[in-house]
Structure 1
Amino acid sequence: MDPEKSNKRKLTGTGLWRILFGTVLAAFTLYAVLDTFVIPRKMQTGAGSLNLSMFETAAPASSAAPVSSAVPASTAAPASSAAPVSSAVPASTVAAATSATAAAAATPEPTALPDSDPQEDIVIEYKEYYQDGTAIYVADVRLSSAQYLRTAFARDTYGRNVTAYTSSIAAAHNALLAINGDYYGAQERGYVIRNGVIYRSTRSSADVLCVYTDGTMKVVDPKEYTAEQLLADGVWQAFSFGPGLVVDGEISVSVKDEVSRAMNSNPRTAIGMIEPNHFIFVVADGRTWSSAGLSLYELAEFMQSLGAVTAYNLDGGGSSTMYYNGAVVNNPTSGGRTSKERAVSDIIYIGS
């Protein structure tokens, strides 16, 4: 046999094998990417259960303030550089007591009257700020019970890559107010406890935000608790994104510790607690010429300035959306060219 022809056959066979192997590898890689980020995987449909039995034995925290529509929903003074958008205070929101005059002058002025139901179980005051070159939207919420702070999955389905717009999920649940959640569906790990039901009990390294039935909110280390322990301790909602922004009244992120994320100005979503059953929902626009966005540290400073003793960073970027009074009030954007919502896997909302 001609040695030259034999070598050609060997080379040809090797080349075909390489092509076949490369094709299979590329196909597998493509499938893995699509399975992780694109292909919906429904794990539980009809996932809208509310375990309200948790509240039958839950006692309100001792520091919880009674809810009243006559009390302004926020008493925290803004940071010195913050300027509320509205310059006029609706007459019905002005306190009659003379002693409140000085405090009212320093308090951010509401851009809308508080909304409440007839039983005054829910009081929401919506405000807008412009700080650090960024448009920031704030909803100050007082509840008679933490059961009105609820969550919902896209299409009422727990799973991976099952998504819908924040506004669509909110409208389907008659939400008075809603923000995007932690986008649990893009992760394989991290506790998911929603409305008193455990959907995922595998821990991740991320800080976990817990909302308890007594109206308190805490940032916990998942290495110290199992999901089952948290539920037994009265956790009504648990989110796995983070990091925690404010813990025990102190800022818990720094430029040094969070360089990879905190140095970037981006759209942000956060939630915080001022006192039991008194919460703040915050969304900041970003990545546009009119609104730069916030770093994590700037977001933490802002949450602290509103009086939050606990605050937590949720999914941001193009996901950052606030829905209030039946409409999206901020300008969600990823690339800065158009204002459009991004589909997400879950929301946090106020409703009954």
Structure 2
Amino acid sequence: MKTLLRIFLLTLVSVNIYAQDLDSLVFTKAKSDKKSVAKKTKVYTYQFTDSSLFKANQYISFVEVGNHKKAPVFFIGYDKKELITTSDFAKKYNATVAINGTFFDIKNGGSVDFIKVNDTIINQNRQEKNNIRALHHKAAVVINDYKLGIKKWDGSDTWENNLSDKNIMLSGPLLRLNNEDEKLDSVPFNKLRHPRTAIGIKPDGSVLLLTVDGRQQNSAGMSLFELTKIMKWLGCTSAINLDGGGSTALWVSGYGENGIVNHPSDNKKWDHEGERKVANVIFIKGKP
């Protein structure tokens, strides 16, 4: 009986490893559409049909910004009260590319996560019940001298306020750091498939601004476990999850009819019109 149980368990493990290898193969061999949008900056789109990736249809789009002195540089955009679409934020800041940022108060506006811009604190964290730190308060996108980085919560109550970085946007969960996958809790937010937004950094300093569409027949969305694999397969040694769901939007100047690359899900249609208004964005443009 014990021998049969061992054989059964080994079979399950082998099947799981094979499935992971197959997904990796499907992704790495997939062909993307790509277009140059600025110096050392390209937009990529992938369409997976016939349930070929993670046993589902998927649509992935991202902008890769090279670590080059002539490439566009990074900024945080925000509004303290008014909610604005990612595309309108982009036009407001004369951006080249913009992606939705961190979590926000959908009724009253403003970020629910710590944001600092040019050494000025814009928002403090809004605490969860029982003062337990939220999953999206345990990591941060930081920008110094127009270069983007990712940091991990150090366990202290005043971590974000003690950071010396000039520009900070808390978000999360953290997916990867220094070429190691972070341990993710098995909570519904992490396990269920949703539209997702993420930022990743490659070893050479290139940065990926990525969206995964979801809640659509053409794209199921991803769990954070699946998203972590995508970021790893794209070569990111560090990666962070941002606000997703109906907020997920990637805008590129001059792209398509309205600049929206992905298919925002808020209007429940497979088009580029369904943007949700948000409180903040990450954007790039030429260095001042």
Percent identity, aligned pairs only?
A: 26
Whole-angstrom distance in 1 between the partners of 2:221 and 2:212: 6
Contact 1:268–1:283 at 8 Å: present in 2 too? yes
Q: How far off is 1:197 after superposition?
A: 2.7
Residues 1:229 and 2:157 are matched in the alignment: no
Residues 332-347 of structure 1 mapped to structure 2, 5 A cutoff: 332-334=264-266, 336-337=268-269, 339=271, 340-347=274-281
Q: Which residue of 2 aligns with 1:315?
A: 243
1:288 deviates by 0.7
Match of 1:151 in 2: 76
Shift of 1:184: 3.6
Tell whether the 8 Å contact from 1:216 to 1:275 is kept in structure 2 after alignment: no
Distance (whole Å) between structure 2 residues aligned to residue 136 and residue 125 of structure 1: 14
Give the C-alpha shift of residue 84 in structure 1. 7.4
Out of 152, 168, 175, the position equivalent to 1:238 is 168
Task: Tell me the equivalent position of 1:125.
Answer: 42
Q: Which residue of 2 aligns with 1:251?
A: 181
1:167-223: per-residue Cα shift (whole Å, max 9, x none)?
A: 111012111111100034457753212344321344752212132426362332164
Pairing 1:171–2:91 present: yes
Q: Could you say if the C-alpha distance between residues 202 and 253 of structure 1 is closer, same or farther in structure 2, counting changes exceeding 3 Å?
A: same
2:144 — aligned with what? Answer: 213
Deviations for 1:265-314, whole angstroms, at most 9, x for unmatched residues? 11100011113642101101111111111111111110111111111111
Match in the other structure for 1:330: 262
Could you tell me the TM-score, scaled by structure 2's length? Answer: 0.73
Q: Which amino acid aligns with 2:62?
A: V
Higher helix share: 1
Tell me the matched-pair count.
237
Shift in alpha-carbon separation, 1:128–1:147, aligned structure 2, 3 A: closer
SS of structure 2 residue aligned to 1:297: helix
CA–CA distance in 1 between the matches of 2:77 and 2:213? 23
Equivalent pair of 1:265/1:294 in contact (CA under 8 Å): yes
After superposition, the CA RMSD in angstroms is 2.7
- Secondary structure of the structure 1 residue equivalent to 2:251: strand
Question: Runs of 5+ in structure 2 lacking a partner?
Answer: 1-22, 128-132
Instruction: Using the TM superposition, name which of 317-326 and 198-207 deviates more.
Output: 198-207
Amino acid at match of 1:79: S
Using the alignment, how far apart are the partners of 2:126 and 2:88 within structure 1?
A: 29
Extract unaligned runs of 5+ from structure 1: 1-77, 87-108, 117-122
User: Offset at 1:321?
Assistant: 0.3
Aligned residue for 2:75, secondary structure, equals strand
Q: Which has the larger radius of gyration?
A: 1
Secondary structure at the aligned position of 1:179 is classed as strand
After TM superposition, give the deviation of residue 142 of structure 1 in Å: 1.6
Aligned 8 A contact 1:318 1:341 in 2:
yes
- For CA contacts below 8 A with separation 6 or more, give which structure has more relative contact order: 2
Spell out, residue by residue over 1:40-65, the C-alpha distance to the aligned partner (whole angstroms, 9 max, x if none): xxxxxxxxxxxxxxxxxxxxxxxxxx
1:137 to 61, 64, 68: 61
SS of the residue corresponding to residue 35 of structure 2 reads coil
- Equivalents in 1 of 2:216, 2:125: separation in Å? 37
Q: Mapping of 1:65-144 within 5 angstroms?
A: 79-82=24-27, 111-113=34-36, 115-116=38-39, 123-129=40-46, 130=48, 131-132=53-54, 133-144=57-68
2:200 and 2:118 mapped to 1: Cα distance?
18
Question: Are residues 113 and 216 of structure 1, via their aligned partners in 2, closer, same or farther at CA, if it must alter by over 3 Å?
Answer: closer
Cα 1:195–1:267 shift into 2, 3 Å = farther
Measure how far apart 1:262 and its partner are.
2.1
Aligned match of 2:7: none
- Structure 1 segments of 4+ aligned residues over 6 angstroms from their partners: none
Cα distance in structure 2, aligned partners of 1:210 and 1:172: 21
Instruction: Tell me how far apart the structure 2 counterparts of residues 128 and 188 of structure 1 sit (CA, whole Å).
Output: 29
Q: Is the 8 A contact 2:103 2:112 kept in 1?
A: no
What is aligned with 1:19? none
Q: Deviations over 1:198-256 (max 9, x none)?
A: 213447522121324263623321643543421x2xx24322231001122122144xx
Q: Given the two structures, how large is their TM-score scaled by the length of structure 1?
A: 0.60
The residue number in structure 1 matching 2:197 is: 269
Tell me the distance in 2 between the aligned counterparts of 1:158 and 1:84: 43
Instruction: Tell me the SS of whatever aligns to 1:158.
Output: coil
Whether the 8 Å CA contact 1:203–1:223 is kept in 2: the answer is no
What amino acid does structure 2 have at the position aligned with 1:152? G
For the Cα contact (< 8 Å) 1:268–1:316, is it kept in 2? yes
For 1:142 and 1:312, the matched residues in 2 are separated by: 18
